[in-house]
Amino acid sequence: MNPLLEKFDTPFETAPFGLIKAEHYLPAIQEAIKKAKEEIQEIKNSPIPTFENTIVALDQSGEKLNDISSIFFNLNSAETNDQIQALAREISSLLTAHSNDILLDEALFANIQFVYEQKEKLTLTEEQKTLLEKTYKGFVRNGAKLDENQKQRLREIDRDLSQLGLKFGENVLAETNKYELVVSEESNLAGLPDAVKEAASQTAEEKGKPGKWVFTLAYPSYIPFMMYSENRELRRELFIASSTKSCKGDELDNRQHIKDMLRLKNERANLLGYKRFSDFVLEERMAKSAPKVMDFLHNLLEMAKPKALAEIKELENFAKELDGLEKIEKWDFSFYSEKLKNQKYEVSDELLRPYFKLENVIEGVFLTAEKLFGIHFIENKNIPKYHPEVTTYEVIDTEGNHVAVFYADFFPRAGKRNGAWMTSFRGQKTVKGKESRPHVSIVCNFTKPTKTKPSLLTFNEVTTLFHEFGHALHGMLAKGNYESLTGTSVYWDFVELPSQIFENWSYEKECLDLFAKHYETEEIIPSELIQKIKNAANFQQGYQTVRQISFGLLDMAYHGTDPSTISEIFSFEKEILKPTSLLPDVEGTLMSTSFSHIFQGGYAAGYYSYKWAEVLDADAFEMFLEKGIFDRETATSFKENILSAGGKEHPTVLYKRFRGRDPKPDALLKRAGLV
């Protein structure tokens, strides 16, 4: 028996991880594809296509396939190995072919088109109109109107792109895992806090190097070293290792993969009648067009760059005065920034860490969600988990009704890619009056506990947890009929609003008082320390803004340029980043080859959305500041019009319904100290 093909006999029909073996995935996917094809055939056999028997039936088809695929690919990101990665390549090809079989099916599209052309005569709700529009456009935008030769080429392109994306991610993970900075002499640890040294010693033991200290490219190891190590040469070595991932000309090099992906994406866009891939993507975004995105980024750059240059000058003067350093290099930036911040605001990560024990911060986000939205989190150890470090919860409302299942996975390990993300094992939908509630997960790479200390987060890790939890709320509070329109199934430049607005609470005393207490003394974080956090919030905000803009510009350049003109990735990146360059270039370094957001994730021609959504989040949070950060009326409106609404209506309509007007940039510019 294959547990993936059986009805999940688990709490809330959660994935039965304890029963699943790697060899179960491929046959389960093959069987689920077969079943999904039968469902599609039934839709095509409808004598008279209707909204229900065609559009709704299509949205509800392939349920088992979706469930199995979600389980598999979430594990490929969070708990992978060589066997899973090999399976991912095979399964990805099968799923891509199956998706194309549906989207390029002439008879199926004819039924969809028949319903679409009757739309003015149909009595549909706004949600139903959106589903009809999205379904029809989805087919057209994925080749339904192409001739047979073009369809065959589209299939080949999609197959190759799926493989290239997987290979790109595998290479970045392999590069991250293989590097170690081994320190044998304690004198080379000067400046590092005891907790960082203890963690490095523990890593060394785990890697069979007792008596030494090992630092890796995992963020909780890399970032503190760059921030505190007084050994400039070792900072340089670690920086170079991090900044040359997958660009060394070996088997893990991603440069050719990037060029191949760009060529294929552009060809795909051309096939569908678009000049560039960015034109294809942005047609279904709030921003609408590449010129509008570029104007947005350049206007921000114009305001942020003078501030950023002044910040760099201040840092150079500080480093020269402190250590006689004549020129700041990229491996010096975090080190001197942390010292300068500490001097200016008397606040540092090491001063704050004791107040941010991971378990307390988790409790803090739960309490914040409870006060805002009336939901409660109850740990449920009967829910199967894919790794012992994962914690599982049931989410209920104030009446005790089941809301969602929530998985939390916080620490780095060899099988997990770097970074932090929210994902779902199952979305929310209502079929024939029966509602399926979502199964949502957040995956992070936070500071691990050591033998003597619990996991104590940096403030940046605290805001990251709030950020990902905001995404999770978007998924958990979903309320609608059609899974393709619920939760995070929204325009890509709208999806960051729930995550980024939730970060704001982590700066507010009323929220911090709920959970920020010293892990040893239980003392609530002092008011003066909270004020210092707020005072330091704009520290080097010009630099950070320019940095984010640089990623957005690089993304738009890659996906808005004729790829045949990109002969060499090093020189292309350097040229594009020149207007945003604030520190001396380092020969041989490259960020493109590990830019997973746009070459492995879903942010191609969409990285700008982080800054775009900041306008929305700052403007929306102003309303909470006016009414009270825990004002239930405002929170209920945000829940109903943003979090629960998903993609039922255009985001502009939803935002105006919450805010009472279109968003204004004033709050963001003020918050970032740019005006």
Which residues carry out catalysis? 468
Q: Which structure tokens are listed for 376?
A: 């409660």
Residue 543: Cβ within 10 Å count = 22
Contacts with 167 (C-beta within 8 Å, 6 or more apart), sequence order: 89, 257
Contacts with 465 (C-beta within 8 Å, 6 or more apart), sequence order: 361, 362, 365, 442, 444, 446, 457
b/e per residue, 269-290, with b = 16+ CB within 10 A? bebbebebbbbbbbeebbbeeb
* Distance between CA atoms of residues 518 and 633, nearest Å: 33
* Distance between CA atoms of residues 576 and 590, nearest Å: 12
3-state secondary structure of 423: strand
Alpha-carbon radius of gyration of the chain: 25
Instruction: Report the candidate in 275, 246, 264, 94 with the shortest Cα–Cα distance to residue 164.
Output: 264
397 torsion bin: left (phi>0), alpha (psi -120 to 50), beta (else)? beta
**Residue 33, CB-side half-sphere exposure with 13 Å CA sphere:** 19
Cα-based angle 364, 369, 371 (whole degrees, multiple of 5): 95
Query: DSSP string spanning 475-513?
Result: HHT---S-GGGSTT-S-TTTTTHHHHHHHGGGG-HHHHT
* Distance between CA atoms of residues 493 and 613, nearest Å: 6
Contacts with 587 (C-beta within 8 Å, 6 or more apart), sequence order: none
Residue 578: Cβ within 10 Å count = 10
3-state secondary structure of 4: coil
Beta strands in 318-416 (DSSP E): 375-379, 391-397, 402-409
Whether 149 and 222 have beta carbons less than 8 Å apart is answered as: no
Residue 571: Cβ within 10 Å count = 10
Q: Which structure tokens are listed for 670?
A: 């003020």
- Give alpha helix (H) positions in 104-187: 106-117, 126-140, 148-178
Residue 609: Cβ within 10 Å count = 23
Instruction: Report the candidate in 43, 63, 60, 55 with the shortest Cα–Cα distance to residue 138.
Output: 55
Q: Which structure tokens are listed for 566?
A: 């990109």
Whether 574 and 585 have beta carbons less than 8 Å apart is answered as: yes
Residue 336: Cβ within 10 Å count = 19
The distance of Cα 581 from the centroid of its chain, to the nearest Å, equals 25
Burial class (CB in 10 A: 0-12, 13-18, 19+), 206: exposed
**What residues form DSSP beta bridges with 214?**
182
Q: Which structure tokens are listed for 196?
A: 């960082």
Cα-based angle 422, 530, 222 (whole degrees, multiple of 5): 50
* Distance between CA atoms of residues 79 and 76, nearest Å: 6
